[in-house]
Structure 1
């Protein structure tokens, strides 16, 4: 095999200077400007009645658009796309360098320790399903989890969260003390409420009772720095599509021993040292679970997205989001007939996510009208966290607005104004409820076409 690590010429040919591709001129002090430029910046969308308006994307928690710098990076590396690790040609060496450089930089971004594995997956769901095959015992989870961190565990014990984070930590500690578990797996931040959990304290509790800890960082990572070493985490899982790199890559990062002992997540080429008809010698390390051709472009995009977030700076990101999140909640609190859902009464740290329920009316209809009449994207439903939502909400569905690095105070103000009008007066057009949800009757918006 060619030693790609020694081929600095290959590495430099596909490496670009991030400083030459600024993602913004910097945020305005009051949050009126976006912190980062995304590929949907300035997007115009049609609304009912024939007009077009600037799109307001408040569905970032589901999937975030790509950073413009990430999209530009993908365009630059696409000519080098090739199969990795075994090709003798220059593009194959370049593609291999992209993947292996990304493995190093992504691991460094999340504070991976020497010996930790960085395994590339499609998304957080796949990463946690992979980890579930490796856990040598029971897993304890909270009922607040996204389905991706609730359903994969084969031997699962669920602790119902208490009204406060403090009480919930006590309940988790009591559960682990009463009956040993191999793993505690928790979300870093709720995708319903945006409330941030104290993951370092959760790690202390888990380790004090002989368990390891895994963190579903799908929501947390795009907003806050996650550091395995600093927080004493054993595993972390996350997705590129929530971190401004929607090109189909995610990662599981953490302790090697369980993962090296687990059966290969995929059986196929690249995961083996040797194959005969009657035996297989499986590799250890990341290769063991990465059979087949990897998503070279997605992996490169994820690495570049995290590098761009680093360049923005943790302090700048948190300050920008805190300003617009406060504005969002102030606006929602002022609207009659609207209630913001909370999971904990002592949660004083939350991401730019707010889920509301209405005293009267359908959040699904309001969400449809926000999109069709105002060009504002939100999400209605239970957000793949059904047990949690059903416990904390009196309604069958909620409406979620979520912010990101490209969000502005104008986005928030347009949403609050439109929501207030729709709650007070109802939609201006007629809608019908279909199997796909609420849809405008006689929708006159042109169908999107990319031919």
Structure 2
């Protein structure tokens, strides 16, 4: 895979279970590396959309507060303000769905079915595709896994959500090559060696942000009589998607990554396998008739949606896709500028290596994962949050096989941006990270089962989280 040397430089060398600063007041601060990277636009890049948490301040160690800089959007994104307003406006109308006789029930049913049609349209579904509501991408892929009439071929770069469900139903893993072109050839060769029913790949890596050419993967799969499924958890928040145009047979996505964190996900795709599969959930709403010795199940999305649906999550997901679509080409331009700012700034820091999966990847969404030459990324992530109010992610990002292959260290640090990110957010992160790499944290930290935490945490919690 792509290899980038680690620059020599200073870094944290402490590997002990407990980390203490050089002095009670913390080390003296020199001007930290980072900040606005050289060559990046001097004009600030402002957020495209207002998030529900805009203006949120979080407490920091030692008293006081800092503007929250959320660069962990690849894990979960806060609601768009328009989505939050929409949920608040429909909440009084919440009621039972599909079988209620009251006006509120009819309204709630219209919300769900309207959202189903809208989401299908936004994602480019074919007229006869099913739109099945789930909890999240993991849930959607698990549902699909039980419906595939044969083996599934996956890449080793996948998030666990697109790696583990197939294991129990017949999984064949193809090791990705150093280039996308070679990886496509490897998938082609595997399908020629032994047919499979499905090829399932990520749309955008949650580790490197790199995009796969889905049209080309669809062509390879279809040439061998297989279908293509796409884990679009990281794709949908950043790019317009058209299933029909790209030749995608199934797509799974999460509302909580697309600025609708209300607990709904979706599986969109061809009906035949889903109609023939055992119902994903056995319960009310999925049946035509129940006798003690026989059950007649519905076909269509209802077959897999037993129980009361997540009305608010479903309508929130649909509204979020509407608002993202309304941004048009500005969304791509905004992200490209900030991604370049982020990646260039990280590359300029000593002792930092930007992770890549493919030498020939031509595009990536706003995700950048790095490994550090020295020190603990968990400690750095904890200090970024506790001392600077900056949220990032440390670990192997639920993609252990992929991370272990492209990284030399056991864990990495990931920053991820979105429509609500500004150039000030990126610069604040780079400045804080540069200072921590040069001088270390100001406060003492302890490593426990949940990672690195302040040894003495004086940050007050909100009443609801006490």
Q: Give the Å deviation of 1:31.
A: 5.2
> 1:322 corresponds to which residue?
336
> 1:424 corresponds to which residue?
438
Q: Name the CA distance, whole Å, in 2 between partners of 1:161 and 1:30.
A: 39
1:413 aligns with 2:436: no
| Aligned 8 A contact 1:31 1:320 in 2 | no
Q: Name the CA distance, whole Å, in 1 between partners of 2:241 and 2:175.
A: 25
1:139 aligns with 2:145: no
Which of residues 30, 51, 55 is equivalent to 1:38? 51
1:311 aligns with 2:321: no
> 1:385 corresponds to which residue?
399
> 2:278 corresponds to which residue?
263
> 1:96 corresponds to which residue?
109
Q: Give the Å deviation of 1:361.
A: 0.3
> 2:66 corresponds to which residue?
53
Where relative contact order (Cα < 8 A, 6+ residues apart) is larger, the structure is 2
1:67 aligns with 2:93: no
Q: Give the Å deviation of 1:63.
A: 0.2
Q: Name the CA distance, whole Å, in 1 between partners of 2:352 and 2:148.
A: 42
SS across alignment from 1:207: helix
> 2:225 corresponds to which residue?
210
> 2:30 corresponds to which residue?
none
Q: Name the CA distance, whole Å, in 2 between partners of 1:419 and 1:203.
A: 40
| Aligned 8 A contact 1:117 1:256 in 2 | yes
> 2:14 corresponds to which residue?
none
Aligned residues: 423
> 2:409 corresponds to which residue?
395
Q: Name the CA distance, whole Å, in 2 between partners of 1:29 and 1:303.
A: 36
Q: Give the Å deviation of 1:226.
A: 1.1
Q: Name the CA distance, whole Å, in 2 between partners of 1:125 and 1:317.
A: 26
1:228 aligns with 2:262: no
Q: Name the CA distance, whole Å, in 2 between partners of 1:316 and 1:235.
A: 27
Provide Cα deviations, 1:177-223, integer angstroms capped at 9, x if missing partner. 11100000000000000000000110000000110000000000000
Map 1:69-88 to 2 at 5 A.
69-88=82-101
Which of residues 172, 175, 193 is equivalent to 2:187? 172
User: Structure 1 residues 30, 103: CA separation in 2 closer, same or farther (over 3 Å shift)?
Assistant: farther
> 1:242 corresponds to which residue?
257
SS across alignment from 1:281: strand
TM-score relative to the length of structure 1: 0.93
SS across alignment from 2:257: coil
> 1:296 corresponds to which residue?
311
TM-score relative to the length of structure 2: 0.90
Q: Give the Å deviation of 1:435.
A: 1.0
Q: Name the CA distance, whole Å, in 2 between partners of 1:272 and 1:447.
A: 46
Q: Name the CA distance, whole Å, in 2 between partners of 1:36 and 1:178.
A: 48
Q: Give the Å deviation of 1:436.
A: 1.2
RMSD: 1.1
SS across alignment from 2:165: coil
| Aligned 8 A contact 2:218 2:228 in 1 | yes
Q: Give the Å deviation of 1:121.
A: 0.2
Runs of at least 5 residues in structure 2 that lack an aligned partner in the other structure:
1-40
Q: Give the Å deviation of 1:30.
A: 4.7
Q: Give the Å deviation of 1:312.
A: 1.1
Which of residues 116, 135, 148 is equivalent to 1:122? 135
Q: Give the Å deviation of 1:29.
A: 10
| Aligned 8 A contact 1:30 1:323 in 2 | no
Q: Name the CA distance, whole Å, in 2 between partners of 1:129 and 1:413.
A: 39
| Aligned 8 A contact 1:31 1:324 in 2 | no
> 2:123 corresponds to which residue?
110
Which of residues 457, 462, 466 is equivalent to 1:443? 457
| Aligned 8 A contact 1:165 1:347 in 2 | yes
1:359 aligns with 2:373: yes
Map 1:17-28 to 2 at 5 A.
none
SS across alignment from 2:195: coil
Q: Name the CA distance, whole Å, in 1 between partners of 2:462 and 2:226.
A: 50
> 2:356 corresponds to which residue?
342
| Aligned 8 A contact 2:45 2:334 in 1 | no
Q: Name the CA distance, whole Å, in 2 between partners of 1:345 and 1:85.
A: 51
Provide Cα deviations, 1:217-242, integer angstroms capped at 9, x if missing partner. 00000000111111011000000000
| Aligned 8 A contact 1:31 1:323 in 2 | no
